[in-house]
Every structure is written in structure tokens, then in C-alpha cells.
Structure 1
Amino acid sequence: MLMKRIGLALTCSTAFLLGGCPDQSQTTIRNPQQAETNFIWNIADNIPLPIQPADNIASEEKFELGRHLFYDTRLSGNGTQACVSCHEQDKAFSDGKATPTGSTGDVLARNSQALVNTAYNASYTWANTSLVRLEQQILIPLFGESPIEHGINENNKADVLSTIASDPTYQTLFSDAFNVSADQVDYNHIIDALAVFVRGLNSFNSSYDQFQRGDTSALSASALRGSQLFFSEDLECFHCHGGYNFTDSLADSGMFFVNKPFHNTGLFNIGGTGDYPSDNQGIFELTGKASDMGKFRAPTLRNIQLTAPYMHDGSIATLEEVVDTYATAGRNITSGPNAGDGRLNPFKDGFVSGFSITDDEKTDLINFLESLTDQSFIDNQRFTNPWEQ
């Protein structure tokens, strides 16, 4: 279902089709500053504009500054890590690892999410109900202390900022983007520019999109059959991965009410109590509500072929294994410290109920998922490393 750029309320019935319903937390968004600018959004005509914060409207100048910062290892405490270290373009801005490692060696508990259409996310990171702006999220990798990612802290932040601000290339870029001189540059400028760059990483030109726009040759017969399975009530994939961005965590400028749903998919059920590993318990870590144990945000499936391994902890290696896990209504771990039958997790989402699927149908379904790959996004020179050009 497409939410147009008009002021429609996201009603209960509409929210249900996108994977939400009244028992989910809701946020009211009315942003008056949605006038179109000359910014290149890289979105199709039938897609609504994303929401922008009124104090950080996108511009080409901010985008170009953000692109330089995204690829710069100098934006870290020890000069070894950039945003691209965990978000590579050929992997749809994910990293191909189960979980990433920070600049000082800390291993993170959660998989690096693909930066695809993040401008349309209703919330950010895998499991945080309160992070609803990219500007908020960017603080975590830059300044977070547990785990350490970029490792910018009180001891080194002045030096890092000075290194960036004194670079002649950056002096021009900061002046163009924010009309500031080198001695006026601060971290707010850096964060705003990075947010604009990431908001601009949009992908709506997959084979499936081309088929939807009328190119009947864009999808194979197998992928077309797979799409019918995906959107069927038998498999129920679309309940959590529906809409134009293939996720129910969706916000755009045409919405008045935005759902922020999170889901327990039955990956764990430690000791039969519903528990997840202590370092990865979903939004339960914030709310303390038993029913929130193991609930994570459903990521977009766009470019999913390129973003293995899968799930919040990177514990499933292939799309075939993902389909098998959902077909069996969860994962049964028979030994070790995480032993337990996730299929019986008492907090599991009701849509993860299992289904029957033949080998041929599985092939069709995966071919459909692979049709969500947007090669023009992966090859787009607009998103590449400017320091190598």
C-alpha cells in the first residue's frame, strides 16, 4: 500500500496492512516544511517524500559534505574507522559480517543494518523506540562508549574536530553547506551533514520496481510466482515487510500517524522461558516489559540479496535458511547456553506461525526477494567514495 504525499491519517485498518495496529506505540508527525527543493532524492515519482526535520532540510551541499565525512577515517578517535567501515556500497551499505568490530576492537552485538531508504524509517537501530531521527542515531556510533565504534570521546573530540575543520577541502565544503568558517565548525554540522547523506541513500529501481512500472519483462516467471507467495496469507511475509519499502517500520511526509512496530520472530527461547541472550533482548532492554522480550524492528527487504548474514545478530547465513526458519515458525536450538525452542516462545509475533513450502516454491520466493536488488543503487557514483575520485 502506498501512502501518498497528502495529509491522510494512518487509520487502524491502514496500519494493520502495514503491520501495525492499535496496540503499537504511535507518534504524531506534522511537519510543515516539506516543500520540494533542488535536492536529488533518488526516488521514483510514485513514492512520497521522506520526512525531514525542520532544522536540517536537505541540500546538495550538505549531502556532498556528508559523503566526504562518511568515507573519512579521520572521523574516529584513533583515525582508523569511518562510517563505510561497516556500511559498504556494494553490500547495500551493510558489511557482510555477522556483527561488526569497532575502532578499538569492541565487537558489537548487533548486525550492521543496510543503509537503504533509511529516510523512511519510523525508528532507528534494531531496537529503540525513542530514536526517530537520523541525527539522534548518528550520535551512537560516533560517541558511544559501550560498545565503542568510532571512539570519539572527551579526550580526543577536540583533536578530531580540528583535523576535519583544518582540511582545505572541508573548509570549502563546510562553507558551502552551512556558511561557516573553519573556526565555526562544530559536531552539529558534522552530524547534520551525515544525516542528509544517509537520507539521500534511496533505492527504488529494482527489477520488481521496473515490473510495477509496466516492464513485464523485468521479472522472471519464477520471481513473479514468488511475489504471489510473498503477498499471500499462507506465508504472511507482507504483514511485517509490506508497503513500498518492504517494512512495517515506515514514515513519510504524507502520514499523520506513524506506527513503530517491533517483532519477536522466535529465534530464541532460552530455557523455555521466552528469554533472549542477555546482550540482545530487543526493546525489552528499554521498556522492561516481559512482552517486549526479543522484539526488534523489521528491516527493509530492499537489496536483501546483498546484505547477508541476516537477523539482528547476523546468526542466519542465507536467505534459504531465513525462509526455513519462518517456515518452521521459529528456530529450535537444541544445545548450548542458548538452548530452547523458539517456535514455542510465548512472546513470539502471531504472524510467525509457520507454513508449508516446497523446494520449487522456496526457489520462487527467493528469486522474488532477489528481484528487490537495485543494481543502479549499488553502482550509483553519487554515493561512492569522493576521496578516491
Structure 2
Amino acid sequence: MYITKCVSWIVISCIVGAKLAIAASAPTSVSAPKIELGRYLFNDVRLSKFGNRSCALCHSPFHGWSNTFSKTPDIHGNISALNTPSLLNAVDFTTYMQGSRDLTDLAETIKRPLLSTSPEEMGMKEQLLVSRLQRESLLYAPLFMSAFGSTQITLEKVLQALAEYVKTIRSTDTSYHRYLEQADINQLTPAQQKGLVLFKSERLNCTACHSGVLLNRRTDARETDFANTGLYGIESEGGYIYPPAASGLQSTSGRIEDNGKFRIPSLINVTATGPWGHDGSFSTLGAVIDSYARGGRLTVSGANQGDGKKHLQKDPLITGFNLTPLERSQLLRFLEALAIPVPPQLTQHASPFCALVQLPGRVDVANCILPFIYRGNENTH
């Protein structure tokens, strides 16, 4: 079950924060200034070429640190092949990309969408980024001085501050984890308790791929934490493949054995991050369960029609199972026990910037900073 989403992509940059209870200890005074700088940068549309998005647009605390897109558009409005994974607990991941093992450093991973050219997710250039932040010296000079002991602005400092902030997006404050920590089954409703039994049962065997604190690890440590779950089975030269634009690990390894293999996602807060699937092709969690129950998804129309159950690289654990309607409902209720509560009050994740467009139910922080407006008079090339 993967993740992706948002509201209006064109101009929304201000994501007024909502607290996700941080499981780790509070930031130390040494790193706190870098975290604060990172919070400003994370919510600032200056970090995108045309000033039409911030990091918080695609990674919103209101949508489980993901967004509501099935496939995220770039700064030109062109639709990408994949949806956006959640940043929740990203600091605890061993690799940061859905379809690649290459990036294991958080700052380097943040650099990818910031400077990417195909697609242009943020479309930023290093020189443009530095000059924009330098021009806003009244705002950023004190923040860089506090964080790094110097007002000098560099790409490396920006990436480091963003990485320190992303590390604070961390929580396991769920009913399920409280049940584990307190050994109190009453933390779960009766339906959730029955759903947990199903989740752990030999018949469904969900824990084979969704175990550990974040429910994103295999129980068999010898196996990789990437899997082909049979979402596609497009016939091709006598075999079956995923859509070429989203081929998973094969895109970096070049091995047909890796076709359709994507990183196993964490299930924490999964109910808040729809639509689901590495490409956002599931509109409900019930549909995700149905695909696993079938042993692979059948796509009967469109360019990607085919039977994922027949894919030769499908994980051998995806064999299918039977569920009654009541059991299906109980399993869905258990997934609700993995939700992170989002209190309405403003917290450490509040955007310091005023919203370009005021959304219903969203309120700017007091004395919010007017957002950057792209005027088209910069050299963005």
C-alpha cells in the first residue's frame, strides 16, 4: 500500500501545521535552529522554479505527509508516473525511493526532487535558489546565522536544514502501538481486535511483509524489502510486465527479475494517505485488500489491461485468500487503528507563511509572512 495526494496543486503552498506526536525525544538545542530553518524552507514556495509549490504541497501534514494526487504533476502540470510517498517516519527508513535502492542519505534524497529536470518536480537551479534566499535577507540571514553560525547561504546548508526538519516528522502514536506498549487490548475496538487476528493469521499472512515498528519489514530478514504485488500483468513478448514508465527496481537495476518491485511501505497512518498503490491506482483500501485476496489485480480496460496474478515476478507470498464481507470490514477497521491523531491546534509543523489561497477550515498563523510571488523577471534557466 503506497501513497499520494493533495488539493489544488497550482498555488497552494501554505500548509498550516498539524501536530503528529513525535515518538522520538525532543530536538536538542544544538539541532533546533537547523530544524527551525528547515521548517521555513519546507513551507516556502521560493524553493520551486515558478513559485507554485513548496515541499509541503506534496507532503502535507493534513494528508499523512503525502497528498491527494494519484500521480503528482510537475511544475508545468505534466503528470508523473508515480504518486508521492509519505514522509512520516522517513528518518527510520533504510532507503528512501519507492523504486530504487540507490538513495540511503536523506539530504541527497531531498536534493533529487528539488533539482530534478525530468520531471521538473521543483525545477530549481542551485544559483537561483541561493540568490532568492539571499534577496530575502531580513528573513533568512538570521535563520542561517542561528543554524550555521554564518549568514552564507549554500545548497548544502539548505539540504541539511531540510533533512533535520524531515527527521522531526516522526510518530507511532496509534491505538495499535499503545496496545503493544501497554499490553492493553482495550486500546483496540472489538472489530479492530478481530482485524488484528486476521492481519496476523496464517491465512492472510500480512505480517510477512508488514512487520516491525513501522509495519514495513519482512519477517524473513533474508528477503529484500521490495516486492512485486501483482498489480499489473501486461502481456509482453510471452511474459508479463508493469507499465514501462513505472517498472520499479528494474528501472535502476536493468534486471527483468526486478520488474514491478517497489519498496514495501509503512502502514502507519495508511488510512490518511489515499489514493493508494505506487501509482495511486487504488481509490479505496478495500480495493487494495481485494487485489491481495485475488492474488493479483485484474485490469480489464485501458492501456494497462492484464492479469497481475500471472506476472512471473510477483512475490511468491501473494497467493490469494478468501475473506467474508465481515472479515473484510474487520481488517479495514484494524487499519484505522494505525491512524495518527491530528489535533486542530497549531504546532511545530505550522507554516510561517500566509496561504496564497485560503482553504476552507485552514487558518494562517498569527503574523504570518506574505508568501513569495513569482513575477517572471528572473533568470530561471
Question: TM-score w.r.t. structure 1 length?
Answer: 0.80
Q: Is 1:124 aligned to 2:88, yes or no? A: no
- Measured after TM superposition, the shift of residue 351 of structure 1 is 1.2
The residue correspondences of 1:97-136 to structure 2 (distance < 5 A) are: 97-136=69-108
Letter in 2 for 1:204: T
Task: Tell me, in whole angstroms, the C-alpha distance in 1 between the residues paired with 2:243 and 2:74.
Answer: 21
Q: Is 1:192 aligned to 2:160, yes or no? A: yes
Task: Tell me, in whole angstroms, the C-alpha distance in 2 between the residues paired with 1:300 and 1:92.
Answer: 12
The residue correspondences of 1:117-266 to structure 2 (distance < 5 A) are: 117-153=89-125, 157-167=126-136, 168-181=138-151, 184-214=152-182, 215-248=184-217, 261-266=225-230
1:74-123 C-alpha deviation (Å, 9 max, x unpaired): 11111111101111111111111101112222321111111110011111
Q: Any unmatched runs of 5+ in structure 1?
A: 1-39, 50-56, 251-256
Letter in 2 for 1:203: S
Which residue of 2 is the match for residue 34 of structure 1?
A: none
- Measured after TM superposition, the shift of residue 166 of structure 1 is 3.4
Q: CA RMSD in A?
A: 2.4
Q: Is 1:355 aligned to 2:321, yes or no? A: yes
- Measured after TM superposition, the shift of residue 147 of structure 1 is 0.6
Task: Tell me, in whole angstroms, the C-alpha distance in 2 between the residues paired with 1:315 and 1:58.
Answer: 43
Structure 1 residues 286 and 347: alpha-carbon distance in aligned structure 2, compared to 1, 3 A threshold: same
Which residue of 2 is the match for residue 43 of structure 1?
A: 23
Number of matched pairs: 329
Task: Tell me, in whole angstroms, the C-alpha distance in 2 between the residues paired with 1:371 and 1:325.
Answer: 21
Structure 1 residues 146 and 238: alpha-carbon distance in aligned structure 2, compared to 1, 3 A threshold: same
Seq. identity, %? 33
Which residue of 2 is the match for residue 368 of structure 1?
A: 334
Which residue of 2 is the match for residue 19 of structure 1?
A: none
Task: Tell me, in whole angstroms, the C-alpha distance in 2 between the residues paired with 1:83 and 1:97.
Answer: 14
For the residue of structure 2 that corresponds to 1:213, the secondary structure is helix
For the residue of structure 2 that corresponds to 1:271, the secondary structure is strand
Task: Tell me, in whole angstroms, the C-alpha distance in 2 between the residues paired with 1:139 and 1:133.
Answer: 10
1:226-251 C-alpha deviation (Å, 9 max, x unpaired): 1111112211111111110110289x
Question: TM-score w.r.t. structure 2 length?
Answer: 0.81
Q: Any unmatched runs of 5+ in structure 2?
A: 1-19, 354-363, 366-381
Structure 1 residues 248 and 76: alpha-carbon distance in aligned structure 2, compared to 1, 3 A threshold: same
Structure 1 residues 345 and 92: alpha-carbon distance in aligned structure 2, compared to 1, 3 A threshold: same
With 132-141 and 212-221 compared, the bigger mean Cα shift is at 212-221
Q: Is 1:290 aligned to 2:256, yes or no? A: yes
Which residue of 1 is the match for residue 4 of structure 2?
A: none
- Measured after TM superposition, the shift of residue 135 of structure 1 is 1.1
For the residue of structure 1 that corresponds to 2:82, the secondary structure is coil
Q: Is the 8 A contact 2:271 2:336 kept in 1?
A: yes
Which residue of 2 is the match for residue 24 of structure 1?
A: none
Which residue of 2 is the match for residue 335 of structure 1?
A: 301
Letter in 2 for 1:176: S
Q: Is 1:90 aligned to 2:36, yes or no? A: no
- Measured after TM superposition, the shift of residue 41 of structure 1 is 9.3
Q: Is the 8 A contact 2:98 2:278 kept in 1?
A: yes
Task: Tell me, in whole angstroms, the C-alpha distance in 1 between the residues paired with 2:169 and 2:333.
Answer: 24
Task: Tell me, in whole angstroms, the C-alpha distance in 1 between the residues paired with 2:127 and 2:296.
Answer: 48
Structure 1 residues 111 and 58: alpha-carbon distance in aligned structure 2, compared to 1, 3 A threshold: farther
Letter in 1 for 2:251: E
Q: Is the 8 A contact 1:224 1:368 kept in 2?
A: yes
Q: Is the 8 A contact 2:38 2:163 kept in 1?
A: yes
Structure 1 residues 173 and 124: alpha-carbon distance in aligned structure 2, compared to 1, 3 A threshold: same
- Measured after TM superposition, the shift of residue 63 of structure 1 is 1.0
Letter in 2 for 1:185: I
